Amino acid sequence: QALRVGKRVQTETGIGSAGRSLVTAADDLLALERGSLEGRRVLVVGAGQTAGPAARTAAAAGAHVSCANRTLAKAERLAEAVGGRAVPLDQLDAALAGTDVLVTCTGARSMTIGADQLAGTPVAGVVDLALPPDVSEDVHGLGISLVNLDRLVAGRDDDTGSTEVAEARALVRAEVRDFLGLRRAAQVAPTVVALRSMASEVVAGEMARLSTRLPTLDDRERDEVQRTVRRVVDKLLHQPTVRVQALSTDPDAVDYAAALRELFALDPQTVAAVMSAEVPSA
């Protein structure tokens, strides 16, 4: 259920563009401080959903793009897509020696690049789109422009992306509401089964009494009386049980299952037995 809802959010709302929006905002902010990426050597570390837009944005701006990842094959695929080159992650220090702008988006806790690693390199700007951050704040001491998620969030307008987020939240709320409703309806079913079972027992008991009081009834007459009584009981129970199952789909509704048990004095153990046996509602 959660995977299905996640797919709906991804395909039916604009929330999937968040990575591209972050990259664009970071690129704009860095451009204000360090100028265009055209002709710059850009190293993109990571190959996830954010790394792809980052590499494409840099390539479109005229940068020379290199891609590094723990899995070299992923770096090679991304590099091929943007006309760049792949770099093994264990050669990161060597790659930094030929980098003007570093873009990181791994989010790996073991991935921390600090001032000591960037000291002496030509890196002038860093875009850190990872959570948790890949790059420590101490790189500011080297005169490096650091654009990270904290800066992007602080600098964005309050309503930026609010439409997409609101759409995604509304969709999730609706799905949760539907799920809770179906779950409540399923919980009513054993009570309905127990109610119909009780009604059948009442009919059987009354038919036994009738046989004692009217011993002259033949089998055909007795069967006709029993069918008539059952039809009456079924018709009396049909609308209430259908309605209670429909009303129970509202997660904010009262507990109709409890109301039925109370009104008809249903044995809780009978209901529990029905639930454990997973008997479908009639």
Counting beta carbons within 10 angstroms of the beta carbon of residue 234, is it exposed (0 to 12), middle (13 to 18) or buried (19 or more)?
middle
Residues 14 and 134 reside in one and the same domain: yes
In whole angstroms, give the CA distance from residue 266 to residue 9: 43
What string of DSSP letters covers the chain?
Answer: -HHHHHHHHHHHSGGGGHHHHHHHHHHHHHHHHH---TT-EEEEE--STTHHHHHHHHHHTT-EEEEEESSHHHHHHHHHHHT-EEEEGGGHHHHHTT-SEEEE----TT--B-HHHHTTS---EEEE--SS-SB-GGGGGGT-EEEEHHHHHHHS-TTTTHHHHHHHHHHHHHHHHHHHHHHHHHHHHHHHHHHHHHHHHHHHHHHHHHHHH-TT--HHHHHHHHHHHHHHHHHHHHHHHHHHHHHTTSTTS--HHHHHHHHTT--HHHHHHHHHHTPPP-
Percent of the chain residues past pLDDT 90, beyond the cut: 24
Residues 133 and 6 reside in one and the same domain: yes
What is the CATH classification number for the domain harbouring 152? 3.40.50.720
- pLDDT for the residue 164: 62
Domain-embedded: residue 123: yes
Residues 118 and 206 reside in one and the same domain: no
**Which amino acid appears at position 235 of this protein?**
K
- pLDDT for the residue 45: 93
Of 121, 138, 160, which residue sits at a domain end? 160
pLDDT bucket at 232, cuts 50 / 70 / 90 = very high
Q: What is the pTM of this model?
A: 0.51
Residues 118 and 24 reside in one and the same domain: yes
Average confidence (pLDDT) over 5-23: 58
Residues 143 and 190 reside in one and the same domain: no
In whole angstroms, give the CA distance from residue 34 to residue 41: 13
Domain-embedded: residue 166: no
Each residue's pLDDT tens digit, 210-221: 888 888 888 899
Domain-embedded: residue 220: yes
Residue 96: pLDDT above 50?
yes
Query: Where in the sequence is the domain holding 242, given as residue range(s)?
Result: 174-277
Average confidence (pLDDT) over 269-274: 60
Residues 98 and 203 reside in one and the same domain: no
Residues 87 and 117 reside in one and the same domain: yes
Range of weakest confidence among 42-51, 90-99, 130-139, 182-191: 182-191
Each residue's pLDDT tens digit, 193-215: 888 888 888 889 988 888 888 88
Domain-embedded: residue 169: no
pLDDT bucket at 280, cuts 50 / 70 / 90 = very low
Residues 92 and 208 reside in one and the same domain: no
What string of DSSP letters covers 49-63?
Answer: TTHHHHHHHHHHTT-
- pLDDT for the residue 271: 60
Residues 216 and 152 reside in one and the same domain: no
Domain-embedded: residue 190: yes
Residue 61: Cβ within 10 Å count? 16
Domain-embedded: residue 126: yes
List Cβ neighbours of 231 (8 Å cut-off, separation of 6 or more). none
Residue 251: pLDDT above 80?
no
Residue 254: pLDDT above 50?
yes
Residue 22: pLDDT above 60?
no
Of 138, 160, 182, which residue sits at a domain end? 160
Of 96, 128, 160, which residue sits at a domain end? 160
How many domains does the chain contain in total? 2
Residue 277: pLDDT above 60?
no
Each residue's pLDDT tens digit, 128-181: 888 788 899 999 899 988 888 777 766 554 444 556 667 777 888 888 877 877
Residues 156 and 28 reside in one and the same domain: yes
pLDDT bucket at 188, cuts 50 / 70 / 90 = confident
Q: What are phi and psi of 35, to 5 degrees?
A: 90, -175
- pLDDT for the residue 155: 57
The mean predicted confidence, pLDDT, of the chain is: 80
Q: What are phi and psi of 70, to 5 degrees?
A: -60, -35
In whole angstroms, give the CA distance from residue 274 to residue 268: 10
Question: Roughly what angle, to the nearest 10 degrees, separates helices 219-247 and 162-213?
Answer: 160
- pLDDT for the residue 100: 92
Domain-embedded: residue 282: no
Each residue's pLDDT tens digit, 49-95: 778 888 888 888 888 999 999 899 999 999 999 999 999 999 999 99
Residue 71: Cβ within 10 Å count? 11
Residues 156 and 181 reside in one and the same domain: no
Residues 155 and 243 reside in one and the same domain: no
Domain-embedded: residue 247: yes
